[in-house]
Amino acid sequence: MSKWKDEEEHLLRLLVSTNSHSDIAAEFLRRHEKGLPGFNLKRSYDAIRRKCSRDGITADTTADYTDPYEERWEYIKRMNEEYMMDAEQQTDGIIDKIERKILTLSDIHFPFALYDELDKALTLHSDADVVVLNGDILDGYIFSTYGTARRIAAVKEYLSAFELVKRIAESFPKCVIVSGNHDRRPAKALAKREFQKEATQILRPDLLARIANGEVLNKDGELVEKLNFDNVIYQKYDSWYVRVGKTIFCHPDAYSGGSPGATVKRLCTYFMNRLGGENFDSIVVGHTHRIYKGVVMNKLLIEQGAMCSRQPYQHRADLSFPHAMNGYAVVYQDAEGNTDFSESRIYYLGSQLPPKKGVI
């Protein structure tokens, strides 16, 4: 019979009052497999049962057992107590109970979407209460002012985006849509032809508004049906941002280079001035195709990455567009809409590079 180590004796007495012998054996095995000090031998269920019977180790006899680790930790605290300074604990971003889960996807750029990754994200987070499409759902390729190497019909982009919104509307309680700079391309193209807004309204260039309205189009762009999208939210005024709880989801036209998170930090200052700091505690931004998470001025700031493949304007010789990163974000809130800074996170999906050239 092998002698029990001090670490084993301690753990056994600590667990026996609230755990079965089977549970204790499982914990001993876990520590043994991890190679933790004092657990070099396997202790079976029978070995633990015999040890408890032999030494009279029961829930009653260990009721007053004191954890030596806790005693040592309290000693350390007392030893250094004189050096502690008075302070008020800030608890922004710390919540008691998660009540709302928000999945946010941005920069899909139909038809250049990462279709498989979109499907995986929607499946993995099928328990989300809200799905936010945070801008650039459409690419608006045919309306680009940067040149078009291919002819991509706008109606194809519309049909693809509509199917995505339809899936979300049928599978999740709420779908919230934010417009991005690419989504606004049709309206900008008409504006450049010097048409006034009063003239372009009849043409209805805000395609996201039509999608949110449930307008089913055929391949010729004709309205053939209107679905009930009562749970799809799109705010036509200031459509580039929306607030869900205390989280702002936004897709600006502007981009700030330099240090990581430069764009969302700039937006934090903007919204502090516009809304006041008490009205939001977090910002999730699309547009940048970058990944960033940080806490600045007691606000959780996220740049959520892109859900599209490599764009035609990336990796040009002028280096004007930074290397893009794929990803999306999930935000957790309590019943009052306060954000959990720790649990809210980014899902990084890598990046897309052009094929390497062969060596001559």
Q: What residues have CB less than 8 Å from 319, skipping those under 6 apart?
A: none
Determine the CATH number of domain 100-348: 3.60.21.10
Q: What is the pTM of this model?
A: 0.84
Helix (H, G, I), strand (E, B) or coil at 33: helix
Instruction: For residues 327 and 107, give the distance between their C-alpha atoms in angstroms, rounded to a whole number.
Output: 10
According to the model, what pLDDT value does residue 198 have? 52
| pLDDT one-digit tens code per residue, 68-93 | 888 899 999 999 999 988 888 888 99
Instruction: For residues 43 and 34, give the distance between their C-alpha atoms in angstroms, rounded to a whole number.
Output: 14
Q: What are the pLDDT tens digits along the chain (360 aa)?
A: 689 999 999 999 999 989 999 999 999 999 999 999 999 999 999 999 999 999 999 999 988 888 888 889 999 999 999 998 888 888 899 999 999 999 999 999 999 999 999 999 999 999 999 999 999 999 888 777 665 556 677 888 899 999 999 999 999 999 999 999 888 877 777 666 655 555 445 456 789 999 999 999 998 888 899 999 999 999 999 999 999 999 999 999 988 877 889 999 999 999 999 998 889 999 999 999 999 999 999 999 999 999 998 766 665 655 556 678 999 999 999 999 999 999 999 999 998 777 777 766
The domain locations on the chain are 6-83, 100-348
Instruction: For residues 22 and 28, give the distance between their C-alpha atoms in angstroms, rounded to a whole number.
Output: 10
According to the model, what pLDDT value does residue 73 have? 92
Instruction: For residues 106 and 285, give the distance between their C-alpha atoms in angstroms, rounded to a whole number.
Output: 9
β-bridge partners, 306: 326
Helix (H, G, I), strand (E, B) or coil at 217: strand
According to the model, what pLDDT value does residue 199 have? 46
Terminal-residue alpha carbon distance, the chain:
71
Q: How far is CA 51 from CA 8, 12, 48, 55, 201, in A?
A: 11, 9, 5, 6, 83
According to the model, what pLDDT value does residue 259 have? 82
According to the model, what pLDDT value does residue 202 have? 43
